[in-house]
């Protein structure tokens, strides 16, 4: 089996200043593609350490993928280290990357400086995969078996996560063209509205009855819920997919509408799929989620086809004057109440003329209101058949609460629209 090592380069990771998410996301993608990640290593911005570490990884792996250290500034010394490691005699300019550099800087209204131009220079020992998302090219160093005792390839990717992850599909294609890679058959389903432990208990009999070669993984995420992934390594793809589908049918009968998608997905996409092309529209009224729900809804390309807009009513005055929440309701029931959530949802529907709406009012923390516990959220959903409200309680962690409140509201909205559309 083809083995890979993922290396991140940069002092900022070693001193704990930034969290390395590249390794995680690259490993996840490699694994999905059937390439086993054997090790991950983080190295500082030190030429000798970079050379020694990469050499070590190349000795024991078929593939090494590095990210970072390729910026235009002086602390980025990876390229020189790679030149030394690969025995380069000099640098050559990559015309395709240079053109991309010009295009990117031009589009930002910036001049192309010498430091920018220098990014198109690569050691004469590498091949280039153009990086269309940034200025640093992706460098591919192929070592024949005399060097490390086996054929080995080093892919040097930029460190900016967006660029590094953008490069991964091309890297995987290249790996597949040069190394034996088993087929892996994965299927994901997305579940929201159940704690991982409750879910795990509920599906335990099904899990125990799975054939030994079908692997189940739980991938919980506070914004998207729990992703359940079934995988089979090797075998004929078509027949494996049929086998997995049969298991998913059984699972679907157990979980019902807690499943919101049969592919890797998120709630805002699921809502988009429900609304696109129906002529139905959506709006939001947010208090404690502070714009996060609107932000999630509009992260879906084409959201302008159904999302009209939203009001973030952080101040009571905005709830009353813009959304038309009755001051008496606030006085009698409190700002964090299902009644206010209902009036907010109805208010924003009236204001924007949307078919559906969702609203939140709650306490994300750290400060409470003296009445409700921090972590309380009241959610409203409204549509032609009426308005529904819910209350949920989470912990005292502002950042996490905003995410969970938003995801929970989107899930209630998803279920509400599903039931309305099926009427």
**Cβ contacts of 256 within 8 Å, gap of 6 or more:** none
Q: Are 55 and 41 in contact (CB under 8 A)?
A: no
Q: Which is nearer to a second copy, 60 or 252 (CB)?
A: 60
Handedness of CA 322, 328, 329, 333 (dihedral sign): positive
Residue 366 preceded by cis peptide, ω within 30 = yes
Q: Which is nearer to a second copy, 281 or 387 (CB)?
A: 281
For tokens 């905005």, the residue is 318
Q: Which is nearer to a second copy, 211 or 366 (CB)?
A: 366
Closest approach of Cβ 355 to a second copy, in Å? 13
Query: CA 59 to CA 55: how far, in whole Å?
Result: 6
Closest approach of Cβ 89 to a second copy, in Å? 27
Q: Are 409 and 379 in contact (CB under 8 A)?
A: yes
Query: CA 383 to CA 118: how far, in whole Å?
Result: 57
Closest approach of Cβ 264 to a second copy, in Å? 8
Handedness of CA 311, 391, 326, 332 (dihedral sign): negative
Closest approach of Cβ 328 to a second copy, in Å? 21
Closest approach of Cβ 313 to a second copy, in Å? 5
Q: Which is nearer to a second copy, 88 or 349 (CB)?
A: 349
Distances (CA, A) of 217 to 187, 189, 196, 229: 10, 11, 12, 5
Closest approach of Cβ 387 to a second copy, in Å? 21
Closest approach of Cβ 121 to a second copy, in Å? 15
Q: Which is nearer to a second copy, 41 or 121 (CB)?
A: 41
Q: Which is nearer to a second copy, 215 or 415 (CB)?
A: 215
What is the phi/psi pair of residue 287, to 5°?
-110, -85
Q: Which is nearer to a second copy, 142 or 280 (CB)?
A: 280
Query: Both tokens of residue 60?
Result: 């024991």
* Nearest C-alpha neighbor of 4 from the set 152, 211, 140: 152
Q: Are 172 and 158 in contact (CB under 8 A)?
A: no
Query: CA 119 to CA 73: how far, in whole Å?
Result: 10
Query: CA 191 to CA 199: how far, in whole Å?
Result: 9
Alpha helices by DSSP H, 61-153: 78-85, 95-107, 114-117, 145-148
Q: Which is nearer to a second copy, 180 or 302 (CB)?
A: 302
What is the phi/psi pair of residue 293, to 5°?
-65, -45
For tokens 């409200």, the residue is 389
Query: CA 355 to CA 345: how far, in whole Å?
Result: 11
Cα dihedral 412, 413, 418, 423, rounded to 10, equals: 100
Closest approach of Cβ 283 to a second copy, in Å? 8
Closest approach of Cβ 34 to a second copy, in Å? 11
Q: Which is nearer to a second copy, 95 or 110 (CB)?
A: 110
Q: Which is nearer to a second copy, 25 or 142 (CB)?
A: 25
Closest approach of Cβ 8 to a second copy, in Å? 8
């Amino acid at each position: 089996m083809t083995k890979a090592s993922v290396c991140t380069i940069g002092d900022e990771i070693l001193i704990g200043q930034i969290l390395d998410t590249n390794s995680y996301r690259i490993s996840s993608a490699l694994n999905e593609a059937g390439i086993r990640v054997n090790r991950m290593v983080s190295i500082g911005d030190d030429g000798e350490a970079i050379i020694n570490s990469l050499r070590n990884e190349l000795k024991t792996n078929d593939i090494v993928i590095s990210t970072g250290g390729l910026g235009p500034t002086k602390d980025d010394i990876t390229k020189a280290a790679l030149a030394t490691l690969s025995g380069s005699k000099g640098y050559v300019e990559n015309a395709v990357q240079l053109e991309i550099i010009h295009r990117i800087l031009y589009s930002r209204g910036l001049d192309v400086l010498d430091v920018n131009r220098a990014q198109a220079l690569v050691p004469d020992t590498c091949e280039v995969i153009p990086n269309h998302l940034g200025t640093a090219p992706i460098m591919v160093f192929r070592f024949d078996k005399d060097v490390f005792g086996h054929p080995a390839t080093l892919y040097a990717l930029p460190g900016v996560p967006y660029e590094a992850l953008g490069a991964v599909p091309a890297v995987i294609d290249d790996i597949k063209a040069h190394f034996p890679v088993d087929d892996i058959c994965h299927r994901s389903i997305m579940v929201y509205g159940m704690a991982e432990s409750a879910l795990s208990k509920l599906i335990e009999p099904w899990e125990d009855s799975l054939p030994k070669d079908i692997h189940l993984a739980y991938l919980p995420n506070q914004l998207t819920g729990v992703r359940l992934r079934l995988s089979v390594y090797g075998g004929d793809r078509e027949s494996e997919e049929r086998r997995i589908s049969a298991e998913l049918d059984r699972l679907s009968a157990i979980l019902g509408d807690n499943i919101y998608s049969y592919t890797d997905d998120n709630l805002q996409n699921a809502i988009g799929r429900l609304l696109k092309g129906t002529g139905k529209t959506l709006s939001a009224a947010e208090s404690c989620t502070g714009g996060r729900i609107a932000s999630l809804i509009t992260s879906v390309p084409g959201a302008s086809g159904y999302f009209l807009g939203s009001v973030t009513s952080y101040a009571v005055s905005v709830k009353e004057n813009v959304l038309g929440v009755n001051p008496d309701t606030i006085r009698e029931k409190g700002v964090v109440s299902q009644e206010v959530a209902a009036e907010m949802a109805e208010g924003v529907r009236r204001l924007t003329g949307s078919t559906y709406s969702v609203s939140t009012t709650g306490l994300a923390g750290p400060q409470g209101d003296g009445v409700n516990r921090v972590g309380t959220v009241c959610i409203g959903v409204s549509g032609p058949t009426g308005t529904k409200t819910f209350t949920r309680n989470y912990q005292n962690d502002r950042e996490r609460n905003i995410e969970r409140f938003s995801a929970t509201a989107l899930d209630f909205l998803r279920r509400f629209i599903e039931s309305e559309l099926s009427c």
